[in-house]
Each structure stands twice: as structure tokens, then as C-alpha cells.
Structure 1
């Protein structure tokens, strides 16, 4: 076929249409920005554990990684324009200065670039009702972004380390998911749901505009949703660590398909 006879993609709202209506939805996942070693290289690098994007692809989405970068409204909007869904992933503690506190002795050194980048993405996602899922740190950042606060060291509050065994070992805990919520619809369980935990912080003062959709038996908030948003869900546990359960990721992918329509 000559160059002149090749089909020209149809332009849809300023973008070339190449059968995108039937393609899997594009899900952006935020990443770490940490010192990392690979071969002879020892540099700062953006990365994300494979279990996160494997869960997205297994649920039927296309995973795209979003490394921390300078915050600019035009940049943030351009990134969100290209996405059908968003995941704010786990990682280091949110900077306590964001909710007016001094750091606890156990609180991580803040990752200011990541905090600012993910805050901007979440704010933009809520405004445009882009479906999103927050995981662990993602739940905490959502609460802080909307004006809430955190318990900086949960063992001081509940008297145990049940949510953080340390040394990279996930703990198993039970949570009660509330009916009539997004989480309740996706995780319809006759008994308490078993989840994988790895956190030493949790929501203290709940932000305005958030609805609690799961708790554990000690009262710790385990899931929240943005009131009035079709799919704005965040959980304190790590669903990506349960390879047998893709319900949260599948729910996000389905919501992303509807959003794209």
C-alpha cells in the first residue's frame, strides 16, 4: 500500500481514534522515588512493585506509571486528560506538616515531591470525577488532602503492632465492610474480610466529604469513599498482595470504562 493510500485515523476531540473505544482503560499508578541499585548504578529512581501493575492488567486495564515530578496545573491536567482511572499507591508516610503536626519519632523522612504530586493528582481526579483507588498511603493522603489528620503511630493508640509486623512481612487482619457503599458492593462478604496490612499510621480526624466504608474491630478506619463521586475509594490495606482477589481492581477498571464513555 502506498503512503497516499494508507488509512488516516479519525480525529475525535482533537485526538486520533485508533479503535480506542474498545481498548482496555488506561490506569495511572503513582510510583516511589527512592535511591535504588541496579548493576553498577546507584541512583534515585522511580519504581513500583510489580504486584500493583500486575493486578491492573489482570483486572483488564492498561497500567501506566506516574513518577513524582514538578507540580504544575497544566502538567497535572494533561496527565489526567490521558487517563481513565488512577491508583495512589502505598509508600512512605505523608509529611505531618500537611496536617499541622510535628513528626513522631517513628515517622518517615517526608517525600515532599511525592506528597505534592499525588495531592495534585487526587485533587484533579475528584474535580473531574475520574475513578480512583487509594491504597494504604493513598488512603492517608486522601484524608490529609481533604483536611483530615492521621495517627502518626497507631501502636500508641491501639496498644499493638497488629497492622505492621515489620521486615516486609504483611499481617493478616479482619475488617468489616459496610453495606450500601462502593466497597460493600464490591466486597460482599458474609463474614469479616481478611486483608493484608502493612502500616503504622491510620486516619485520626476524618476529613469532610469522606464516608467510612470499612473498619476493623478496634475502630481503625480501613476504607473511605468520597461522598458524591461515582468511584472515589481508598483502603488502608494492600489488595494487590492478594492474588486471588481482584475485586477492587476490577471495580476500578469497570468504573474507568464508564468514565471513558
Structure 2
């Protein structure tokens, strides 16, 4: 059986501040290929180049990656402010309808950081523009200095709902994760189940209730050294299993108890 094709949602960049490019982190492709067992396929996040329908027919699953631009607040009915940061409206136009289509079809996706936020917004939820400004919240942003190892280092715990999907997948009620995000869930969307929280109660893990397929999404970055990390590996392995099942014709995914 062929490896499942995993569409990795890319991000728009300027090389040398002038050459436009679509790019994806190598660690995303490595996690998809080496841990999920899929063929990584970089998707240009622009509806002028590719349609949601074409993506659904081409790929067996999707990795909704992190990215510096944020989901535009107009997507959840709020006005743009300087605190909302930079945006990528073309990516919004691809990922939000893609999430909704995958939920309906049972086609698997794994949301990471911005991808986690996209899943919530796609299902009708909203976001805080800067969670570190909220009373009682910690700073979840990436450290501004240091090596990649220091920036992606484990920095806080995430506690899962007792007996929930993530608890069963990880085999533990609490795990350590990295943290490299500024925004966070404000209002959970319809059918969004928040299954894990940071110590300051920031939502960190979710899935879509009643969806027939794999919809697990996390606010941290499990793609960092996914093959070696005991939290990242089971997440990407389960995603790969779901993508293989979809490629073979199965349309439902459930984690074993």
C-alpha cells in the first residue's frame, strides 16, 4: 500500500525581503514522513492557486501548521486592532473551509499552533489577540533569543481531561510541552472540545465532537523532534494511522480505549 499523501499547509514568505515564496518548515515534513509515515506535500495557501475541492481529492490528510500571521479577526466577527498582528487572508480562505469540509467528510487533519486556532475559528470560535495580557496568564510566546533548542524547549505542562482522547492517546494525564504562541482560544467553537489546558487555564488541546475522522489539534509545536519526543510521537503516529485508513477507504477514526 502506498504511503498516504499529507498536505502540509504552507506559509507565504519574502526571501531577502523581495522574493515571494511559499514555504514550510523542514521539521513538519520530517514529522509527516518519518513518524506519520506519509508523503509530505507542501500546499501553497492561496485559493487563486488551488481549491479546497482539489486538495480534498489529492490528499489523504492535512497538517495545519503554525505560522507568524494570525487568523483575521473578521473571521470571528471582531474588528482588527494592532494587537492582532499580521495576517494572511489567502491562507484563511483555504484553511477555514478546508477544516469544515474535513470535519464533514471524516478526512483527517492535525492542527498545530495557528492550525489549532484555525480549527476553532472554522467551527465558529474566537481568539484572544494576546493572551499574556490577560489577568493570571503566563507568557506563551517564543523566547526572542537563544538557539532553536532553547526556543523549542519544554516550558509548561498540559493536563488532559481524565479519560479523554488525549489522555488515552498519551497514556498520561499530564505532559510537558513547548510553547511558542501569542494568541489563544477565547470562545470555543461549536462542537470544539477543549481536552487539555496549561497551568494558567489556556486551552492547549482540542478535538471536534462527533466528527467521524481525526481532528486532534494542539497549541504547542509537536513537530519539533517528533520522532524522539514521547508526547509528539504518539500524536503523529495516530495521525498517520488515520491518514492510512482514509487512503484505504475507511471513513472513521477512533482511538482504542
Specify if TM > 0.5: yes
Match of 1:177 in 2: 160
Task: State the Cα RMSD in Å.
Answer: 2.0
Q: Which has the larger radius of gyration?
A: 1
Does structure 1 conserve the Cα–Cα contact (< 8 Å) formed by 2:51 and 2:94?
no
Match of 2:253 in 1: none
For residues 98-117 of structure 1, the aligned pairs below 5 Å read 98-117=75-94
Match of 2:201 in 1: 219
Residue-by-residue CA offset, 1:66-96 (whole Å, 9 max, x unaligned): 1112269x93112111211111100121111
Q: Does 1:194 align with 2:176?
A: yes
SS at match of 1:208: coil
| Offset, 1:170 | 3.6
What is the aligned counterpart of 1:258 among 236, 245, 248? 245
Match of 1:14 in 2: none
User: For the residues of structure 2 that align with 1:46 and 1:182, how far apart are their CA atoms?
Assistant: 34
Gaps of 5+ in 1: 1-21
User: For the residues of structure 1 that align with 2:94 and 2:215, how far apart are their CA atoms?
Assistant: 18
Residue-by-residue CA offset, 1:129-179 (whole Å, 9 max, x unaligned): 101100010111111111111111101114555311432624611101224
Does structure 2 conserve the Cα–Cα contact (< 8 Å) formed by 1:53 and 1:63?
yes
SS at match of 1:241: coil
What is the aligned counterpart of 1:35 among 7, 11, 14? 14
| Offset, 1:63 | 0.7
SS at match of 1:87: strand
Residue-by-residue CA offset, 1:13-63 (whole Å, 9 max, x unaligned): xxxxxxxxx1111111100012123xxx93110001100110011111111
Gaps of 5+ in 2: 146-150, 249-257
Mean CA deviation greater in 173-182 or 44-53: 173-182
Does structure 2 conserve the Cα–Cα contact (< 8 Å) formed by 1:196 and 1:241?
no
For residues 134-145 of structure 1, the aligned pairs below 5 Å read 134-145=111-122
User: For the residues of structure 2 that align with 1:158 and 1:99, how far apart are their CA atoms?
Assistant: 23
TM-score normalised by length of structure 2:
0.85
SS at match of 1:114: helix
User: For the residues of structure 1 that align with 2:12 and 2:4, how far apart are their CA atoms?
Assistant: 25
Cα distance change of structure 1 residues 163 and 254 upon mapping to structure 2, 3 Å threshold: same
Does structure 1 conserve the Cα–Cα contact (< 8 Å) formed by 2:136 and 2:200?
no
Q: Across the two proteins, how many residue pairs are aligned to each other?
A: 235
Does structure 1 conserve the Cα–Cα contact (< 8 Å) formed by 2:70 and 2:84?
yes
Q: Does 1:50 align with 2:47?
A: no
What is the aligned counterpart of 2:236 among 232, 249, 257? 249
> Which structure is higher in strand share?
1
Cα distance change of structure 1 residues 211 and 175 upon mapping to structure 2, 3 Å threshold: same
What is the aligned counterpart of 1:121 among 98, 101, 108? 98
User: For the residues of structure 1 that align with 2:219 and 2:135, how far apart are their CA atoms?
Assistant: 16
User: For the residues of structure 1 that align with 2:98 and 2:197, how far apart are their CA atoms?
Assistant: 26
